[in-house]
Amino acid sequence: MQKAQGETFFFLHSAYCFCLLPTAYCFCLLPTAFCLPRLRPLTPCVQDEWLVMNGQFSFQKVAADNLTQARAGRVFTAHGSFDTPAFMLVGTQGTVKALTQQMLEGAGAQIILGNTYHLYLRPGYETINRIGGLHRFISWERPILTDSGGFQVFSLNELRSLSEEGVRFQSHIDGSTHFLSPEKSMEIQAALGSDIVMAFDECTPFPATRDEAQASLDLTRRWAIRSKQRLSELHNDKSAAENAGIHIVNRTQALFGINQGSTFLNLREQSLSGLIEIGFDGYAIGGLSVGEEKDAMFELVSHLSPMMPEDKPRYLMGVGSPEDIIAAVACGVDMFDCVMPTRNARNGQLFTRRGKMNIKNARYKDDTEPIDDVCACEVCARYSRAYLRHLYMSDEILGSVLSSLHNASFYLDMMGMIRQSISLGTFKEFSNSFLSGLARGQD
């Protein structure tokens, strides 16, 4: 039986996984464990399905809410699927801070995010590629999304210079000079072997004039084209990949385009049309949650999201709080990421169904209750507020570990409840009830 060169079929049927490997591209990374057990299956499973993945990833809508734009779905990748709306915990340097991979699995993390900028600087993408890619390097077999590195580089205000070609910047670690371009970003992300690659964009500074926003989105569009072309080369031309120092390639990587245009609705529309014309596996809204008013953000998201392709995942980058996520889900957004659960945890701020809790507060000194009495996480099952507070006051590592685990579980459980309510047609009731709990504003 003759197969098209490089063609790969995945048959996912009940418990049986067959993987027919192409002979021509033996440098292609095809993990076998792409149907991972779910420790907390909070949404109905798509079962008994026959799936063909032709070196591509896919998105399937499972349910849609009647009262809002909210939708539930599933994204399939070579490292297994994840359910949407999905929240990605941020594993900046190849680790979701303070948590073991086993804890992440236990908490129900189906996909995590890695930062291209940080991993490029340390340990370096060549090192990670030699070891077999980011999944193998960090020992995480579920999906990974990598950002483009743009957001971090543009955060280095004083340390960068921008040109059509790309951006020159100085490392925040040792001050050494580096150059990041759409091509370079794709090389790094190809070397990392993530399941979802983000196109290299200019994150438009906020505030921006209309002209600045226009110039920025035009640049981002040109960079999007270059990103797509370079990733395709790396996926399909073995010598191109090897010349870039990449010896193991995950040809199933999806590429997402990033919408820019600051807070100008028509520029956002213009940016989106441009991206759709180029064609991506998913569409992200970038340049938000950077200082603009909440109202402006949601006006934009609610306007833009329904215009994004129905059959592709929609990703709102860097958002956000539980309230923001629920609001954006109602606008039809499928994917989120934010450092909030882990960063706040390390600062002693814990999320609960009754609002945020500052565990350093003296009132928790003798409190034998769990952080959140309706939370099913490992931390709430075993430890008291008094102990958590003591760990904080004593500056103990375990304080960061347990708080991060709780906050991560809170976010992931919330996403599960969101998905379930969409599937059951009760998203509006769920969100009203959940938001009113959060508004109690425990401290």
Helix (H, G, I), strand (E, B), or coil: what is residue 113?
Answer: strand
Site for a copy of itself in 14-73 (CB under 8 A): none
99 near a copy of itself, rule: CB under 8 A: yes
Near a copy of itself by CB under 8 A: residue from 9, 56, 68, 130: 130
How many residues bind a copy of itself (CB under 8 A)? The answer is 40
Helix (H, G, I), strand (E, B), or coil: what is residue 392?
Answer: helix
State the nearest-atom distance from the C-beta of 383 to a copy of itself, in Å.
Answer: 5
- Distance CA(313)–CA(95), nearest Å, equals 25
Q: Nearest-CA neighbor of 213 among 202, 227, 224, 223?
A: 202
- Distance CA(275)–CA(227), nearest Å, equals 12
Q: Of 83, 147, 324, 413, which one is the catalytic site residue?
A: 147
Question: Candidates 50-58, 116-124, 159-167, 245-253 — which segment interacts with a copy of itself by CB under 8 A?
Answer: 116-124
CB nearer to a copy of itself: give 46 or 131.
131
For this structure, is 334 an active site residue? Answer: no
For this structure, is 201 an active site residue? Answer: no
State the nearest-atom distance from the C-beta of 365 to a copy of itself, in Å.
Answer: 6
- Phi and psi at residue 266, to the nearest 5°: -70, -30
Which tokens hold the place of 403?
């708080």
- Distance CA(59)–CA(66), nearest Å, equals 20
- Phi and psi at residue 11, to the nearest 5°: -110, 115
Near a copy of itself by CB under 8 A: residue from 14, 127, 266, 347: 127
State the nearest-atom distance from the C-beta of 126 to a copy of itself, in Å.
Answer: 9
CB nearer to a copy of itself: give 227 or 400.
400
Interaction mask 350-389, a copy of itself, x per CB under 8 A? ---------------xx-x---------x---xxx-xx-x
Report helix angle 397-424 to 322-330, nearest 10: 20
171 near a copy of itself, rule: CB under 8 A: no
On the 0-12 / 13-18 / 19+ scale of CB atoms within 10 A, 382 is exposed
Helix, strand, coil content of the chain in percent (nearest 5): 40, 20, 40
State the nearest-atom distance from the C-beta of 379 to a copy of itself, in Å.
Answer: 9
Question: Candidates 100-108, 163-171, 204-212, 432-440 — which segment interacts with a copy of itself by CB under 8 A?
Answer: 100-108
- Tell me the β-bridge partners of 314: 283
State the nearest-atom distance from the C-beta of 129 to a copy of itself, in Å.
Answer: 10
CB nearer to a copy of itself: give 137 or 280.
137
Near a copy of itself by CB under 8 A: residue from 402, 415, 417, 418: 402
Q: Nearest-CA neighbor of 184 among 167, 196, 160, 172?
A: 167
Q: How far is CA 314 from CA 288, 308, 372, in A?
A: 14, 7, 31
Report DSSP state, residue 38.
P
Active-site residues, by number, are 147, 337
Interface residues with a copy of itself (CB under 8 A) are 93-95, 97-102, 118, 122-123, 127, 130-132, 136-139, 365-366, 368, 378, 382-384, 386-387, 389-391, 393-394, 396-398, 400-402
